[in-house]
Amino acid sequence: MFRKSYSMELAGRTLTVDVGRVAAQANGAVMMHYGDTVVLSTATASDKPRDGIDFFPLSVEYQEKMYAVGKIPGGFNKREGKNTENATLTCRVIDRPMRPLFPKDYRNDVTLENLVLCVDQDASPELTAMLGSAIAVSISDIPFAGPIAATQVGLVNGEFVFNPTAEQRAASDLALTVASTREKVIMIEAGAKEVKDEVMVDAIYAAHDLNQKIIAFIDTIVAEQGKPKHDYQKFIIPEELWDDMKAAFTPEQMEEAVFTDDKKVRDENMRAVKDMLAQRWEGNEEWLRLLEEAVYQYQKKTVRKMILKDHKRPDGRRLDQIRPLAAEVDLFPRTHGSAMFTRGQTQICSVTTLAPLSEAQRLDGLDLAATGKRYMHHYNFPSYSVGETRPSRGPGRREIGHGALAERALVPVLPSTEDFPYAIRVVSETFESNGSTSMASTCASCMSLMAAGVPIKKMVGGISIGLVTGDTDADHVLLTDIQGLEDFFGDMDFKVTGTHDGITAIQMDIKIHGLTREIVAGAIVRAHEARIFIMDGVMKNAIAEPRKELSPYAPKIETIMIDPQKIGDVVGKQGKVINRIIEETGVKIDIEDDGSVSVCGTDPAMMAKAIQIIKNIVTDPEPGMVYTGKVVRIMNFGAFVELAPNKDGLVHISKMRKERVNKVEDVVNIGDEVTVKVIEIDRMGRINLTMKDI
């Protein structure tokens, strides 16, 4: 490998790949430049396979360094900590198209690392890292059936925009990322504002066409810089083992053991098979070491054959049939909104919490435009949901990814902050799992939002479409609503969410080397039919539209506008005025630079009081205006009444009652609340009040 730079023009910017410049001890390394974005991508592999595993140990890392955008990390520890949510999601989107292209029996540890060194807001570092990882592996000696390429697509004013700039992303109705091999699409990730099915398919294959130009560019680099791929220890099940296993447990018996709609029964059947084979192979250490993998492969071949050849699913459903559905709302009396969605043995409970906008999440990352978000969706997957036991260690990449997918699905239908000035958090708890909990989370969360009274624009549903392929592209079967077994043994998990009118999110995972246009278009059509069935047939029966009123336990928010020049009067020196209002009324107050003041509380009377105090502060008194104020000082000649913080007026003793008053204390004392009317503002700005002429 020698040092050289390679460049191509890509969507209006120059993509440059530096090879041999840095990180020479990695198996493969490239310094990627796209616009002014710079990412170092490396690929390394261990010399030997990891002992005692039956999977490919691939790790993908994406490190965001704040110096890349000229920032110092916030908080007390001025050092980058754990990955941001965006970094975690980027790791997943790099992993998904790369993993299927490594040999299935490769057991060497492989790590793909991406270090973001500089960020141009118009050139996505995530996309740059995807391309960098693909090139780093392709020029390395690590076995890999690549390369791949990736393109982002926006939809601005009805036109596709490739690798959109920051301004274009803000105006776009689509945020689509497509990864491709030379022949097929291998990964799709999308968020959309109700984009039509046919437009989505066109966007995917417009990106696929551009990816072919990038792959041709990568091929020139590999031709000059690529290392020969190294040999590796293969993990293949011996033919003798296969024959003995089938003799002990026939394919007909395996079909009977696998084909049931009860996951627990199927798992128990497989445990019995493993116990029987373990006894049969006692003393044969090599075969016992391969026992788990052999049973897994036997089960997989059986399921795939029955689905592909006989169109028979493990639970007896038709290919396009959805499992039994159930939906309900208002599970808990004091939460702001709750709903549960059940599809077969998958069950999700989603709970909505409303709060003032001041409680929206603050973001500290490389996207300078993204400083916060008011809608947060969190997803949890406890071990009991699949009948296992393990300690909870907090959300992993899978949980973060599923939560982000459900969040992306629902954001397009949320009301604006002007129409609904709340921060919104939805938490999806997985009660039971047997396939596609993220799509169940979307359905449950949509109903939970409506139950909480969030005025979403339209109902959103979601479904996952599976795939089993044969020897040719034409030999395939699509499966609606895949369960866990079909996900494990199938070739695709194609998740699609949307309204009646269009798609709001897509996430596609596959285990094969790509999909044809026919399969992609067919999956999108099948998903459209399924989500309409779910929304109209089940979700609407539980709750048809958003509630008109919020829960009595949810905070209420009233918003008023004031002169921005008077914000300082409301806040007061060192916040004394606003803190006094909060202490006196028990509300929360948020003030924006444009003069928008939001008052949040659960007691309408206290909210009204706080609003009146604020109005009194910002409104200049005029003769005839009536106030309710507190007596703060008494003199021989009258009493001073506080109309608003730092704004007092005098009620002369002669203006207290219609009859004569001999002593001020005969009428009022300090602390009394009285109703007064402004009768005069003298040339010195002093406010004179009356109590008797109201």
**Which pLDDT does position 312 carry in this prediction?**
92
Residues 382 and 489 in one domain: yes
DSSP bridge partners of 393: none
Range of the domain at 96: 4-225
**Which pLDDT does position 671 carry in this prediction?**
92
Give the span between the Cα atoms of 395 and 330, in whole angstroms: 26
Closest CA to 596 of 570, 630, 575, 629: 570
**Which pLDDT does position 694 carry in this prediction?**
78
Residues 527 and 561 in one domain: no
Q: Which residue has the tokens 């089960």?
A: 299
Query: Token pair for residue 468?
Result: 């089993």
Angle between helices 197-225 and 517-534 (to 10 degrees): 140
Residues 274 and 303 in one domain: yes
Residues 538 and 508 in one domain: yes
**Which pLDDT does position 676 carry in this prediction?**
94
Identify the CATH number of the domain in which residue 390 sits: 3.30.230.70
Identify the CATH number of the domain in which residue 669 sits: 2.40.50.140
Residues 349 and 411 in one domain: yes
Instruction: Write the DSSP symbol of residue 644.
Output: E
Q: Are 434 and 483 in contact (CB under 8 A)?
A: yes
pLDDT (tens digit, 9 = 90+) per residue, 386-431?
999 988 888 999 999 999 999 999 999 999 998 998 999 999 999 9
**Residue 433 in domain:** yes
Per the structure, the count of domains in the chain is: 5
Q: Residue 474: how many CB atoms within 10 A of its CB?
A: 9
Give the span between the Cα atoms of 179 and 478, in whole angstroms: 21
Give the span between the Cα atoms of 178 and 514, in whole angstroms: 11
**Which pLDDT does position 1 carry in this prediction?**
67
Residues 178 and 39 in one domain: yes
Phi, psi of 152 (to 5 degrees): -100, 145
Identify the CATH number of the domain in which residue 610 sits: 3.30.1370.10
Residues 604 and 561 in one domain: yes
> Prior bond to 415 cis, omega within 30?
no
Residues 42 and 74 in one domain: yes
Residues 89 and 172 in one domain: yes
Q: Are 551 and 502 in contact (CB under 8 A)?
A: no
**Which pLDDT does position 81 carry in this prediction?**
84
Give the span between the Cα atoms of 653 and 289, in whole angstroms: 100
Give the span between the Cα atoms of 238 and 291, in whole angstroms: 11
Residue spans of the chain under pLDDT 70? 1
Residues 391 and 428 in one domain: yes
Q: Residue 408: how many CB atoms within 10 A of its CB?
A: 22
Give the span between the Cα atoms of 84 and 651, in whole angstroms: 60
Q: Residue 378: how many CB atoms within 10 A of its CB?
A: 20
**Residue 505 in domain:** yes
